[in-house]
């Protein structure tokens, strides 16, 4: 009887091992079989490149080889030497205070946001370097300021720059409202100005509004203010006394480099999509590109990925 029990346990062990092996094999993720070809590797700019598919894959992602979609930078950030470029949008409307806003900067502001500290600092007016609209209508119509290179404004010793909007409403005048939005500093790549990334956006600049004595004890609607998207200079509709105010930024430092991050692919198929016989893409700029397809099969049991690349020559 003891011998029969040993034999039964042995057979059970063999059966369980076979069952386990069979299940493992049944749920094993297979390597994708997709093959990719093109009819020709040399095309004209603007022509459609047809990548032909033969086989299957759960997921397909495409890197064209162009800047921003280059597989060589899928796991390596694009970091470049850059210049600092300032831009914003502004609107001036209603009333008769044509010169109600001036843009200035300081390198010796003490960072205390009150009237005395602002007045004690040295401020350099740079308004004329930008496009500021005239009074247009009675509601906000925004204009672009232009893109102005400001790297020379930053001190060589690494100290920050503060930007300040200096606002005024003249006595015995009608209120003119002024808005500033999208105030930002971009890092523009030195070797390729077509590339840029935001160094400081409007929220980063963190403007704070300080009102002058003309607002003391006066009911104003709407009150000049700063929110998460814009600066608003306003006041009483019929103004009888001189009023001033300032919107001063946080300390901003010069950036020598800009990080454009990782290049991203175009996802062209996920597991729920039907199989496709081809993928089409248009290269608009002449050059040599390494088109890359990342193809994968994936499930809860694992993932198998294959990278396939095809060189495409684009002629003018």
**CA separation for the pair 197, 162 (Å, rounded):** 21
Same domain, 215 and 132: yes
Q: Are residues 143 and 286 in the same domain?
A: no
Residues 119 and 65 in one domain: no
CATH no. for residue 308?
Answer: 2.60.40.10
Residue 85 within any structural domain of the chain: yes
Nearest alpha-carbon partner for 234 in 124, 121, 94 = 94
Cβ burial of 218 (10 Å; 0-12, 13-18, 19+) is: middle
Q: Would residue 6 count as lying in a domain?
A: no
Tell me, yes or no, whether 218 and 90 share the same domain.
yes
Give the end of a domain, one of 235, 259, 283: 259
Q: Record the tokens describing residue 217, joined without a space.
A: 């004890």
For 142, the domain range is 79-259
Instruction: Report if residue 251 sits inside a domain.
Output: yes
Domain assignment present for residue 141? The answer is yes
Together in a domain, 149 and 121? yes
C-alpha closest to that of 211 among 162, 247, 178: 247
Do residues 107 and 150 lie in contact, with contact meaning Cβ atoms separated by under 8 Å? no
Query: Quick one: 303 and 240 in the same domain?
Result: no
Query: Do 155 and 67 share a structural domain?
Result: no
C-alpha pair distances (Å), 10 with each of 3, 7, 15, 17, 221? 11, 5, 9, 11, 90
| Number of domains observed in the structure of the chain | 2
91 and 188 together in one domain: yes
Whether 19 is covered by a domain: the verdict is no
291 and 227 within one domain: no
Place of tokens 């299957």: 56
Residue 166 covered by a domain: yes
191 and 126 both lie in a single domain: yes
In a shared domain, residues 212 and 283: no
CA–CA gap between residue 218 and residue 224 (Å, rounded): 12
Q: Does 15 fall in a domain?
A: no
pLDDT per residue as tens, the chain (316 positions): 444 554 554 544 544 444 444 444 556 889 999 999 999 999 999 999 999 999 999 999 999 999 999 999 999 999 999 999 999 999 999 999 999 999 999 999 999 999 999 999 999 999 999 999 999 999 999 999 999 999 999 999 999 999 999 999 999 999 999 999 999 999 999 999 889 999 999 999 999 999 999 999 888 888 999 999 999 999 888 888 999 999 999 999 999 999 999 999 999 999 999 999 999 999 999 999 999 999 999 988 899 999 999 999 999 9
Lookup result for tokens 């003309």: 214
In a domain, 111, yes or no: yes
Q: Which residues contact 108 (CB under 8 A, 6 or more apart)?
A: 121, 122
Same domain, 72 and 84: no
């Amino acid at each position: 009887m003891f011998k029969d029990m040993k034999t039964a346990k042995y057979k059970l062990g063999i059966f369980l091992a076979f069952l386990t092996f069979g299940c493992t094999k049944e749920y094993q993720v297979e390597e994708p079989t997709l093959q990719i070809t093109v009819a020709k590797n040399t095309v004209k700019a603007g022509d459609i490149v047809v990548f032909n598919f033969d086989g299957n894959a759960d997921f397909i992602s495409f890197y064209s080889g162009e800047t921003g979609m280059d597989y060589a930078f899928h796991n390596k950030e694009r970091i470049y030497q850059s210049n600092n470029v300032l831009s914003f949008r502004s609107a001036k409307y209603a009333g008769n205070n044509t010169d109600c806003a001036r843009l200035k900067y300081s390198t010796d502001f003490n960072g205390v946001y009150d009237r005395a500290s602002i007045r004690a600092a040295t401020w350099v007016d740079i308004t004329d370097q930008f496009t500021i609209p005239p009074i247009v209508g009675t509601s906000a119509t925004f204009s672009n300021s232009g893109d102005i290179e400001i790297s020379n404004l930053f001190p060589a010793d690494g100290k920050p720059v503060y930007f300040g909007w200096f606002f005024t409403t003249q006595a015995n005048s009608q209120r003119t409202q002024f808005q500033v939005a999208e105030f930002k500093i971009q890092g523009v790549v030195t070797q390729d100005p077509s590339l840029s990334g935001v160094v400081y956006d409007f929220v980063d600049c963190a403007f704070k509004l300080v009102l002058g004595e003309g607002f003391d004890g006066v009911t104003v609607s709407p009150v000049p203010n700063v929110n998460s998207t814009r600066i608003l200079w306003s006041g009483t509709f019929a103004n009888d006394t001189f009023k001033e105010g300032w919107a001063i930024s946080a300390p901003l430092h010069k950036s020598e480099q800009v990080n454009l991050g990782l290049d991203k692919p175009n996802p062209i198929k996920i597991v729920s999509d039907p199989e496709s016989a081809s993928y089409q893409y248009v290269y608009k700029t002449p050059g040599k590109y390494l088109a890359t397809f990342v193809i994968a099969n994936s499930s809860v049991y694992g993932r198998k990925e294959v990278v396939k690349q095809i060189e495409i020559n684009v002629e003018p």
